[in-house]
Amino acid sequence: MRVHHLVAGRMAPPLGPPIICHVLLVEHPDGLVLVDSGLGRADLADPKRLGPARHLLRPKAGVTAIDAVEAAGFDPADVAHVVLTHLDFDHVGGALDFPQATWHTTAAEWAAATSDIKAIEKSRYRSAHLGGSPVVQSHAGEGDPWRHGLSAIQVLDGITLVPMIGHTRGHAAVTVEGESGLVVHAGDAVFDASHYDPSLAKVGILRAFEKTVVRLPKRLKINHAALAALHADPDVTVVNAHDERAFPTTGG
């Protein structure tokens, strides 16, 4: 499967470097598949949909998932699936611009955002993104044993959810079997790519922000270690959602 790396959102927080919403577009036999969906057009038209976090992250106009899909030369109507690492606005917002697509997420994440919301989580999940009538397949359980002590849940042929809780209660990385090897989208399991790629310099503000927004802090080091082990595999490319330094210049 051919994997395209797209920027589906740009944000300019007042402190620290600019950050992106890094998504994957996969040419899959079942149709185009988005891995995460960045920001949506309605979000940028009415930033209040994003809640108070908009003041901290400051999304830039004109950069959304559907814009990125079109710029890459694809018809948005051909996006059949959106596989989500989690349901924060900067990962799920763009999915609404593909109303024909089926959403995939872990059952734990869907419950945390819709039916089992804890008080500490009320501000992070936005009803504007989770209302309406999307077709959602929530995948329960831990899946089958996978690499480095992790487990994986098959979503579509060649695409899996790898439960990696911490940032949220139901967060998962997403793997894609690409033409050039396995691509692992870590989502927000790591913010500073130097945690898994020691060739990069540390970015303290990204590390501090990650600790501020994490739901289960004890999982951070576990997730970082797992991603470092995956990065060390010669056939694996690890990317994350927001550190632009980890954005590949070629497909996978």
pLDDT interval class at 15 (50, 70, 90): confident
Q: Which residues of 4-19 are buried (b: 16+ CB within 10 A; e: fewer)?
A: bbbbbbbbeeeeeeeb
The DSSP output letter for 89 is H
Q: What is the CATH number of domain 2-246?
A: 3.60.15.10
Q: Which amino acid appears at position 37 of this protein?
A: S
The DSSP output letter for 59 is B
What gap in Å lies between CA 197 and CA 186, rounded to an integer? 13
Alpha-carbon distance values, 161 to 44, 45, 64, 83, 155 (Å): 28, 31, 23, 8, 7
Q: What pLDDT score does 139 carry?
A: 97
pLDDT per position as a tens digit, 135-182: 999 999 999 999 999 999 999 999 999 999 999 999 999 999 999 899
How are beta strands 135-139 and 102-106 bridged, if at all?
Answer: parallel
Q: What pLDDT score does 117 carry?
A: 86
The share of the chain scoring above pLDDT 70, in percent, equals 97
What gap in Å lies between CA 66 and CA 32, rounded to an integer? 12
What gap in Å lies between CA 170 and CA 19, rounded to an integer? 23
- Name the strand (E) or helix (H) holding 225: helix 220-232
Q: Residue range 73-101: average pLDDT?
A: 96
pLDDT per position as a tens digit, 185-240: 999 999 999 999 999 999 999 999 999 999 999 999 999 999 999 999 999 999 99
Alpha-carbon distance values, 135 to 35, 146, 154, 241 (Å): 16, 28, 18, 24
Given a cut of 80, is residue 252 above it in pLDDT? no
Q: Is the dihedral of CA 243, 244, 248, 252 positive or negative?
A: positive
The distance from CA 234 to its chain's CA centroid, rounded to whole angstroms, is: 23
The DSSP output letter for 94 is G
What gap in Å lies between CA 221 and CA 115, rounded to an integer? 29
Q: What pLDDT score does 16 carry?
A: 77
Q: What pLDDT score does 61 carry?
A: 78
